[in-house]
Amino acid sequence: MYFNFAATAALLSHAHLAQALPQIGSSISSSSVASTSAVSARATVWSVSEAAVPTSTAACNNSPDLCDRHYNNITHMGAHDVAFLRDSSTSFSTSGNTFYNATVALSAGIRLLQAQVHLEAGVLRLCHTSCLLLDGGTLEAWLATIKTWMDANRNEVVTVILVNADDQKSASFGKVFTSSGLSTYGYTLPTTSSMLIWPTLQSLISANTRLVTFIASIDYDPAFPYLLPEFNYIFETAFGVMSPTGFGCDLDRPSTQSSAAAAVSAGFMGMINHFLDKDAGFGIIIPDVDNITSTNSPSTTNVGALGKQGAECYIKWGVKPTFILVDFFNVGPAIETADMLNGIVGTGRVVVSTEPLTLATNSASRFNGYSGLTVVAIAMAVVAIVNTVWL
Ligand SMILES: *[C@@H]1O[C@H](CO)[C@@H](O)[C@H](O)[C@H]1NC(C)=O
Ligand SMILES: *[C@@H]1O[C@H](CO)[C@@H](O)[C@H](O)[C@H]1NC(C)=O
Ligand SMILES: CC(=O)N[C@H]1CO[C@H](CO)[C@@H](O)[C@@H]1O
């Protein structure tokens, strides 16, 4: 008998899955649903047994339970466009996707960092659509901050996903990974290994190859074997969602795969894009910060909530979403949804406020930069001259 999502939704009407887990786990494991391996894999989302037996005393990615788990069998919570700050340093730019920078995100439990890379005057920079609009600095400086964090946190596996907005070659990225020092942690997937089998976190940690890097639209280059072409390994849901009802589990990219089910069977890891955008006028699309509390909520029942999309995709795909990208990760907090999917209680994290950061809550700042209207004006000029790449 097949696992029925309507029944699950009914079970989940206890709002926070974290609290509801024990009773859901026992309901699911009690009877007919465990008859096929696909169904039992799906049922593990609700199982508490994952959290019950620690396999090691040291935590890997904030839990001892994750040490012996395969990399692709973990939900890595990710910060989308994390180089684009909405804080006092950018005068709370309406183009910003995060209130806190990448190292704060890592300390708070985020293990996937995503950014957009442009070529500007011969240098790879983290710019939002265009360097005129929001410039997050050089890729090299940003990677160096990640290196510093990883040097200090030796039991942590970090994933970086980069959008290659100006179609640069793998070698251009490789040079910067090398000069930043971060390449020393780069994990190289053995060419003989099946896409279905990734190492455990513990084996990545023991080998000190704790950085997994994906770049969109590069060709594999044996000189930089740790730079993996993203869409050879990852499929993703739609991005640029403008309505809370728009979050689904269907495959959006890559076009080489016909469906999410086909991609899962072929060993691709699923990535959920869970960030809401809105039209700021004149067709300029910006992150919808006004609704961020409901967007990042761990609720498994509220329309548009992160918890709901996470649970639905787990059930539909039969495997955990390996990656989730959100804006403003501290709100929710988004990590709660990953913990729920991983069946863990996280440890060793730095507590970051779950409130949106505003001028009012950040008294140290002075508002002296671009107003929202100015951003729209710049964005309009930018849209006129470049292809918009928001992801
Ligand atoms: C994923 O991890 C869970 C929890 O440890 C385990 O029960 C399940 O068998 C794993 N799945 C695969 C495909 O390894
Ligand atoms: C990130 O932000 C924190 C808090 O504002 C700051 O202390 C830290 O230096 C920043 N990290 C980097 C790498 O800029
Ligand atoms: C879809 C949704 O909930 N939109 C709301 C986002 O926030 C603004 C401002 O509070 C509301 O007006 C929208 O209804």
CB 299 within 8 A of CB 15: yes
Distance CA 92, CA 227 (A): 33
C-alpha torsion sign, points 126, 209, 346, 341: positive
Backbone φ and ψ for 126, nearest 5 degrees, come out as -95, 95
Atom of ligand 3 nearest to the CA of 243: 1
What ligand has the least distance to the C-alpha of 344?
Answer: 1
Q: Which helix (H) or strand (E) holds 119?
A: strand 112-120
Burial of 361 (0-12, 13-18, 19+ CB in 10 A): exposed
pLDDT for 374: 52
pLDDT for 326: 98
Superfamily the domain 56-385 falls into: Phosphatidylinositol (PI) phosphodiesterase (3.20.20.190)
- pLDDT, tens digit, for every residue of 124-181? 999 987 887 888 999 999 999 999 999 999 999 999 999 999 999 999 999 999 999 9
Ligand 1 pocket: which of 39, 40, 44, 198 to mutate (most atoms <8 Å of CB)? 44
Ligand 1 — pocket residues by CB below 6 A? 44, 50, 69-70, 73
Report the DSSP beta bridge partners of residue 113.
79, 160
Distance CA 200, CA 73 (A): 9
Ligand 1 pocket: which of 61, 69, 71, 339 to mutate (most atoms <8 Å of CB)? 69
CB count within 10 Å of CB 167 equals: 10
pLDDT for 360: 73
Angle between helices 139-152 and 170-180 (to 10 degrees): 50
The token pair that represents 102 in the structure block: 């990448």
pLDDT for 129: 79
pTM: 0.83
Domain spans of the chain, in order of start:
1-53, 56-385
Q: Are strands 211-215 and 123-128 parallel, antiparallel or unpaired?
A: unpaired
CB count within 10 Å of CB 74 equals: 26
Burial of 164 (0-12, 13-18, 19+ CB in 10 A): buried
Residues of the chain with pLDDT under 70: 1-56, 192-193, 361-391
Distance CA 97, CA 81 (A): 6
Distance CA 240, CA 253 (A): 13
pLDDT for 249: 98
CB 276 within 8 A of CB 331: no
- pLDDT, tens digit, for every residue of 49-90? 344 444 447 999 999 999 999 999 999 999 999 999 999 989
Name the DSSP class of 19.
Answer: H
Coil, strand or helix at 185: helix
Query: Residue 135 C-alpha to ligand 1 middle, in angstroms?
Result: 41
Kindly state if the Cβ of 246 falls inside 6 Å of ligand 3: no
Ligand 2 pocket: which of 87, 104, 148 to mutate (most atoms <8 Å of CB)? 104
pLDDT for 362: 60
CB 309 within 8 A of CB 341: no
Q: Note the residue count of the chain.
A: 391
pLDDT for 358: 83
